[in-house]
């Protein structure tokens, strides 16, 4: 539980002790939030920049500003409680969307909104708007799945460089420069219109720590492929199952897939066990299907139909 959640619980207890829930409808709370925000504005009304600079060293002004900011936060948390919003993951997801909308190379030193940014032929304008509106996030009790952003590279590369992680991959398939190539590919896929490929960054809901990736890719005719990778330190905790359920559910319910399949090395018992927990069935095996590490490997195809998904 994060600090916001604990404070939210204290607010609910404070409210219920006074029988105020009857007044705390979502509409009333949103109105109150805006009124409190207006009181912050009132502190600076009619003041010049020079006066404001002087006030920043005034303890009395600081105390008033502190009180008004606290009121805004307390009402915001109550709005989130009434609206069923987990604020910290929601804020992290919005930051990820903003990173897509305002990439450093385009937004550095500029106060322009994305739709007002300079562009040569209008295409950058459209892409920025599309990326802002089409970013997808999925939430589970412990995880936030979101689109990748450039700042994810160090954590993603470290995850893939782990020798224990790489043991079932070819030498050039993961880690090092290949991690950067994959991340760029995932971000390019997120910008495609229409979008058919979703490779989500799997992050811890509380801390935002990147722990892996999970994706579903539409392949036409109602068919889709699925894949997941999780860093070694986070394996064995049920997190892969949690992320996979969210992505497969998204594939069936949102993307309209009829069949979702995965392909894995036949010796990857953990991956096959995960797929079985999701209700997937082994459909076949390709013998000597891949070659790396000085040997041939069999691969297994395992799949699930939308009618079988629960």
CA distance 70 to 7: 12
Band of residue 126 on the pLDDT scale cut at 50, 70, 90? very low
Exposed/middle/buried for 141, CB within 10 Å: 0-12, 13-18, 19+? Answer: exposed
For 187, other C-beta atoms within 10 Å of its C-beta total: 19
* Tens digit of each residue's pLDDT (9 = 90 or more) over 208-255: 999 999 999 999 899 999 999 999 999 999 999 999 999 999 999 999
CA distance 213 to 163: 18
pLDDT, mean over the chain = 87
CA distance 237 to 48: 56
Which domains occur in the chain, in start order? 3-85 (1.10.287.1080), 135-308 (3.40.630.30)
Q: Which residues sit opposite 138 in a β-bridge?
A: 145
**The two structure tokens encoding residue 28:** 């009333």
Mean pLDDT of 68-92: 90
Q: Which residues sit opposite 112 in a β-bridge?
A: none
Q: Which residues sit opposite 264 in a β-bridge?
A: 300
**Residue 97: per-residue pLDDT:** 74
Mean pLDDT of 286-290: 95
**Residue 152: per-residue pLDDT:** 92
* Tens digit of each residue's pLDDT (9 = 90 or more) over 178-211: 899 999 999 999 988 889 999 999 999 988 999 9
**The two structure tokens encoding residue 87:** 């604020």
Range list of β-strands (E), 24-82? none
CA distance 308 to 303: 10
Q: What DSSP state is assigned to residue 231?
A: -
Rounded (5°) CA angle 239-241-245: 120
Among 155, 153, 147, residue whose Cα is nearest residue 209: 155
**Residue 120 confidence (pLDDT) above 70:** no
Give the predicted TM-score (pTM) of the model: 0.62
**The two structure tokens encoding residue 298:** 């069999």
For 226, other C-beta atoms within 10 Å of its C-beta total: 23
User: CA torsion sign, 266 to 244 to 148 to 134?
Assistant: positive
**Residue 267: per-residue pLDDT:** 94
Cα first-last separation, the chain: 28
């Amino acid at each position: 539980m994060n600090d916001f959640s604990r404070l939210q619980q204290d607010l609910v207890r404070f409210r219920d002790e006074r029988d105020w829930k009857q007044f705390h409808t979502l509409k009333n709370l949103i109105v109150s939030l805006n009124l409190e925000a207006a009181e912050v504005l009132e502190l600076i009304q009619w003041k010049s920049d020079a006066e404001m600079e002087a006030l920043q060293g005034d303890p009395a002004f600081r105390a008033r500003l502190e009180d008004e900011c606290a009121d805004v936060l307390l009402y915001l948390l109550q709005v989130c409680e009434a609206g069923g919003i987990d604020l910290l993951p929601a804020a992290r997801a919005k930051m990820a969307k903003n990173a897509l909308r305002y990439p450093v190379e385009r937004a550095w030193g500029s106060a322009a909104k994305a739709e007002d940014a300079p562009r040569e032929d209008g295409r950058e304008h459209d892409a920025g708007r599309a990326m802002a509106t089409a970013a997808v996030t999925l939430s589970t009790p412990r995880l936030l799945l979101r689109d990748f952003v450039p700042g994810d590279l160090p954590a993603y590369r470290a995850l893939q460089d782990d020798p224990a992680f790489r043991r079932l991959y070819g030498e050039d398939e993961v880690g090092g420069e290949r991690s950067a190539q994959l991340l760029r590919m995932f971000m390019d896929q997120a910008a495609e219109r229409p979008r058919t490929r979703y490779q989500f960054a799997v992050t811890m809901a509380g801390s935002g720590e990147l722990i892996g990736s999970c994706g579903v890719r539409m392949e036409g005719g109602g068919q889709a492929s699925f894949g997941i990778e999780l860093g070694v330190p986070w394996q064995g905790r049920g997190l892969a199952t949690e992320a996979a359920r969210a992505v497969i559910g998204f594939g069936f319910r949102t993307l309209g897939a009829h069949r979702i399949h995965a392909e894995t090395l036949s010796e990857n018992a953990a991956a096959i066990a995960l797929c079985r927990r999701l209700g997937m069935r082994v459909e076949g095996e390709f013998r000597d299907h891949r070659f790396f590490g000085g040997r041939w490997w069999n691969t297994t195809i395992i799949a699930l139909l939308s009618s079988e998904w629960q």
